[in-house]
Structure 1
Amino acid sequence: MRLSEWQRALEAYLLGAEPTPDPVLHASLRGSPALSAEDGLAIYHHAYRARLLETLRGDYSALHGWLGDEQFDNLAGAYIDAHPSRHFSLRWLGAELADFIDGYLSAEQAAPLAELARLEWAFGLAFDAAAGEPLSLAQMAELAPEAWPGLQVRLLPSVQWQVCRFNSLALWRALKEQGEVPASQSLEQEQVWLIWRDGLISRYRSCEPGEARALHGMAVEGWSFAELCVQLSEYADNAPLQAATWLRQWLGDGLLQHHGH
């Protein structure tokens, strides 16, 4: 067996769910009086898989706390079998867990679990994202009046946009704080949550439908400030004031950067 073939065989063994090695791989190794080749391979196999499970437990600590050790490890084990690590960093091992849950469980079971998983992953993405160049209130104060109509902004890299149909944020907060965990329940109206990083602190807040529509239009769809005012036609003559009020809120939160950055 060539070295490259042996390396691929060992990789396939470590990534697989079966702890018994391929006969060819087994035959290529020698054990010792204290440890057989099969036992040695099994130790490596167990250690690697345990490291993957540990990573998922860390990235999805709230989901782990909600399900408990056995149910979470069963779910995580099935996920690892379906999505073995392909990236040099285990940071991205759990990137597809929420989508996997959607296909692995019944729709009724999957919906709240997958939503909590997406929420947890969003917090991780927000914390790891590049800082960007936040647009400040002081910078906006220096903007010439004629520049306001064409003003365009976009979200900073850390800002994550999560639509929740269940009380996932309340569950996440209770599990993180090790408090009394509420029952999972669907919301009467879906809710938008903004998650972002402020220095080394994770921030989050809810966003009512009107504000969410305005923020998405301006910072995601690319509306200018003038277009935002037009879209707020239900506010009539107060549309510019409402647009400016929300813009000030977004800048104060630290959500925005110039469109060109």
Structure 2
Amino acid sequence: MSDLARQQADFQRGILAGDDSVLGEIPDSPREKRETLFGVYRYAYGSRLVEALRNDHELLHAYLGDEMFDEMGHAYVKAHTSEHPNLRWFSQALPDFLRTGAPYSGYPVLADLAALEKALNDAFDGTDGAVLALADVAAFAPEVWKDLTFSAHPTAARLDLATNAAAIWRALKADETPPDAETSAEPIRILVWRQENTPMFRELPAEEAMMWDEAASGVPFGVLCSMLATYDDPDSAAGRGAGYLHGWVTSGLLSGVSA
């Protein structure tokens, strides 16, 4: 290894891993110690990563404000080394960091906001896929409908929120004062996907969320309707199932159907 390559490697370790051995190659200036001089690079690197977090989590930033977001961001940078050349992926672990790390774990709305923004970002960057049309479903004879299985669009994802983070997200997105954070008595079921070029989300009732989760795992339509019968009026289960299915197709949530 050449001297230049070794110095570059030492410099990188000094910034990424906090290895101070590189200080032996940095002279003091007339006005500052080498630790201060090198600290400028360390801080600039961390600040750039915090800026990347801001770009990926604009509404979490708006909710926390500059000072609190930067404090949280630098704590995340300290806990998570950037290991991907594309900064877009640096923030992927932020929801888990906020959910499990003190003091942020005491405010579950922060993890929920981060998780919702992450899911929307992931949907925007997700893989393209075919979009099922109503005509594709209608082409099947009525007697085989009970055997139909469906595949979700590649960008579709489900998450459960413990708080009213979705309502706070909507308010922040509209530049309105968000409601106070509240913990929900039961999970708030969210479905996220990309419709054409726009990431979307909506809240699901418990029954539809159950049907979506099972349908996305390949459960046939006839079995899905039997499961719906345990939620409400058994006589209307097939109609409710068809209604949910119609909504999924028209929203671009499905990519395929087979018998």
**TM-score interval (norm. to shorter):** 0.7 to 0.9
Indicate the residue corresponding to 1:140 in structure 2.
137
Instruction: Find 1:71's aligned residue among 65, 68, 81.
Output: 68
Tell me how far apart the structure 2 counterparts of residues 256 and 177 of structure 1 sit (CA, whole Å).
29
Q: Deviations over 1:152-206 (max 9, x none)?
A: 1122121121212211011112222221121111224322111211122222211
SS at match of 1:58: helix
Q: Deviations over 1:36-92 (max 9, x none)?
A: 987764443333222101000111112111222122111111111110100111111
Indicate the residue corresponding to 1:252 in structure 2.
250
Indicate the residue corresponding to 1:86 in structure 2.
83
Deviating more after overlay: 49-58 vs 1-10: 1-10
What letter is aligned with 2:135?
Answer: A
Indicate the residue corresponding to 2:184 in structure 1.
187
The 5 Å alignment of 1:97-116 reads 97-106=94-103, 109-116=106-113
Question: Is there any run of 5+ residues in structure 2 with no aligned partner, and where?
Answer: none
How far 1:243 moved relative to its partner?
1.6
How far 1:100 moved relative to its partner?
1.2
SS at match of 1:189: strand
How far 1:13 moved relative to its partner?
1.7
TM-score, length of structure 2 as denominator length: 0.86
Question: Is there any run of 5+ residues in structure 1 with no aligned partner, and where?
Answer: none
Deviating more after overlay: 97-106 vs 191-200: 97-106
How far 1:96 moved relative to its partner?
0.8
Please tell me whether the aligned partners of residues 98 and 105 of structure 2 are also in contact (alpha carbons under 8 angstroms).
no
Deviating more after overlay: 245-254 vs 142-151: 142-151
How far 1:143 moved relative to its partner?
2.2
Q: CA RMSD in A?
A: 2.8
The 5 Å alignment of 1:214-233 reads 214-219=211-216, 221-233=217-229
What letter is aligned with 1:192?
Answer: R
Tell me how far apart the structure 1 counterparts of residues 170 and 67 of structure 2 sit (CA, whole Å).
22
What letter is aligned with 1:6?
Answer: Q
SS at match of 1:131: coil
